[in-house]
Copies of this chain bind each other. A is one copy, B any other.
Amino acid sequence: MGIAQRKERQKAELRDQILTAAREIVLTEGFEALSMRKIAEAIEYSPATIYLHFATRDEIALQLVREGFAQLLLAMAPVQSIVDPTERLMEIGRRYIHFAMEQPETYRLIFMENPKFSSEVIGQILNNPSEPGERAFAILAETVGELIAQKRFRPVDPEQAAEVLWAGVHGVASLRIACHAAGTKLSEDMEKQSELMLEVMMRGLTA
């Protein structure tokens, strides 16, 4: 059955090409510039061919958001090897903000672009324990729980504290992205800004 396998492989390859081209368009021209025709031109196929792989344009967009989120989670995976929970927590925050600053368009795509896709993907990932990388939020909450158990953190609800920590780093990152090129004095030094946010939140939770 080598022929069938080759066909399947080729089909998957074209699907990949479509997504790669779509990602490129979103990252360079913005989400609203994504169109079937532009993708078709980029991969040098007719627009009709794309419909053999994706039923609608929205399905492509959704997949892009999904992959973007997976990328973000992947970037934070190394923290699992950090033994000290305080250091682990700080590193989660640092890596999170670092990703958002290195790939602002991807971050924007995940959290700021389209509410429909954002909430769908976030909902899927946060509710489905079998998602690749789904454990990110759980790790965050568990780390907080660990610190509470060690009496290093005050006895707060770990899940709620985890959400506050997430909101804190998301706030620094997304405010920066929203204000980017605004010509303000805001966040000239992101490094210092991030560190202060993390320090303030750690101190605020410390017993």
Contact = CB atoms under 8 A, between A and B. Distances in A.
Interface of A: 30, 32, 108, 111-112, 115, 118-120, 122-123, 126-127, 156, 159-161, 163-164, 166-172, 174-175, 177-187, 192-193, 196-197, 199-205
A178 B168 CA distance: 14
B118 A184 contact: no
A178 B122 contact: yes
Given A111-B178, A112-B178, A164 B197 contact: yes
B115 A180 contact: yes
22 contacts: A119-B182, A122-B179, A122-B182, A123-B179, A123-B182, A123-B184, A126-B186, A127-B184, A159-B185, A160-B193, A160-B196, A163-B186, A163-B187, A166-B171, A167-B175, A167-B197, A168-B171, A170-B175, A171-B171, A174-B174, A200-B205, A201-B201
Contact of A171 (B169, B180, B181): B169
Contact of A182 (B32, B120, B205): B120
A178 B166 CA distance: 13
Given A126-B182, A164-B196, 20 more contacts: A111-B178, A115-B180, A119-B182, A122-B179, A123-B179, A123-B183, A123-B184, A126-B186, A159-B185, A164-B172, A164-B193, A166-B171, A166-B175, A167-B171, A168-B197, A170-B175, A171-B172, A171-B174, A199-B204, A204-B205
A122 B166 CA distance: 24
Interface pairs A-B: 4 shortest CB-CB: A171-B171, A123-B182, A204-B204, A200-B204
Contacts of A159: 185
A115 B108 contact: yes
A206 to B, nearest CB: 8
A5 B123 CA distance: 56
B174 A170 contact: yes
B118 A179 contact: yes
Nearest to A159: B185
A172 B171 CA distance: 7
